[in-house]
Amino acid sequence: MDHLWMCLLILVAHTGSSKSQIALPTAHTVSPFEILPKIVGGYTVTIEQVPFQVSVRRRSIHERHYGMGHVCGGAVISQRVVCSAAHCYAINTTVPLVYRDPELYVVVAGSSAIDRTDRFTQEYLVQRIIGHKGYNGSTLENDIALLFLNGFIPWESHGVRAIPLATQAPEEGTTCLIHGWGKVTMKDKSAALQQAPVPILNRELCQVIYKLPASQMCAGFLQGGIDACQGDSGGPLICDGRLAGIISWGVGCADPGYPGVYTNVSHFLNWIRGANASLDYSEYRQMPLLNLANRRCRWRSVSLGFLVMGIGVLALIMSLLL
């Protein structure tokens, strides 16, 4: 135990004195103990600086109130695939594991602000959700999912661009970047895209705090102050210009002693490649209307029927009176 506390003290000293230079990635390149789906302590960036970042939204809300349907973040990794977190789409009350229908979601890319479009904004319906079959809703292990878009992302856009995958886990002390439109405090969300630097922490220390499997890693400052938060889930952890992690969970938001937990992308390289190879990039589906839209259409039909019937009855009464 003395060794573990010594490790903790050393790491606190290291993170407090870090002077690592932060380079923005370009288009080329705590009581009670509660698990929250995980930017606190960040700063505003534009989508041109992080063109791989997307917002995944509930269609039923998004189509009625633009900017209100945000569920999770994600990162573009090919011209039709977005990488995100499994817990954003899994129905955790089902056994065996089931993921929600893809037509419930829309992916908004190329926007710096969550609540308005700009010249780069593009929207894509989701044709298929491939969630990891080993995802555990209790531990959030294997928290990774791919969204297959029902559209092709044009690479000439300055606001939407794929990010390459990391082929190995980032080393301890590496300063990485997290992004999202989640909460900037425990109460307030940000309409502007946020970015924040977080260092990769010692794996032994992460084990002391969380008992993490090899498929997860932790990053952040032990003194707190900077972290991902609710609404950032599924978003990217970028290290050396590559997608190294997926924002997964944490205890609170930027609380001292509890760094953020991320899915280790390099651990899932074979899974990502296999899932991507199973997709037919030439297939585009006729996406169904939402059930809500169908219900609205049916109610309008019923209302129209009653209106026509009422007009007919009124005409009959008038003819009898005359």
Return d(Cα 198, Cα 253) in angstroms, integer: 13
Identify the structural domains of the chain with CATH numbers, from first to last: 43-278 (2.40.10.10)
Q: What is the pLDDT of residue 167?
A: 96
Q: What is the pLDDT of residue 254?
A: 72
Instruction: Give counts: helices (H), strands (E), the chain.
Output: 5, 16
Q: What is the mean pLDDT of residues 176-202?
A: 81
Catalytic residue among 70, 87, 179, 267: 87
Kind and range of the H or E element at 247?
strand 242-251
Catalytic residue among 143, 227, 232, 255: 143
Q: What is the mean pLDDT of residues 225-245?
A: 89
Q: What is the mean pLDDT of residues 37-45?
A: 73
Q: What is the pLDDT of residue 230?
A: 75
3 given a catalytic annotation: no
Q: What is the mean pLDDT of residues 182-189?
A: 60
267 given a catalytic annotation: no
Q: What is the pLDDT of residue 291?
A: 54
- How high does pLDDT run on average in the chain? 80
Return d(Cα 63, Cα 71) in angstroms, integer: 14
Identify which of 41-45, 143-147, 257-261 has the greatest average pLDDT.
Answer: 143-147
Q: What is the mean pLDDT of residues 258-263?
A: 92
Q: What is the pLDDT of residue 222?
A: 83
143 given a catalytic annotation: yes
Say which residue the tokens 């995802």 belong to. 135
Asked if the model's pLDDT at residue 224 lies above 50, the reply is yes
Q: What is the pTM of this model?
A: 0.77
Catalytic residue among 111, 190, 215, 233: 233
Could you tell me the pLDDT band of residue 102, with boundaries at 50, 70 and 90? very high
Q: What is the pLDDT of residue 185?
A: 54
Return d(Cα 116, Cα 258) in angstroms, integer: 34
Q: What is the mean pLDDT of residues 90-119?
A: 92
Q: What is the pLDDT of residue 279?
A: 97
Handedness of CA 235, 238, 243, 246 (dihedral sign): negative
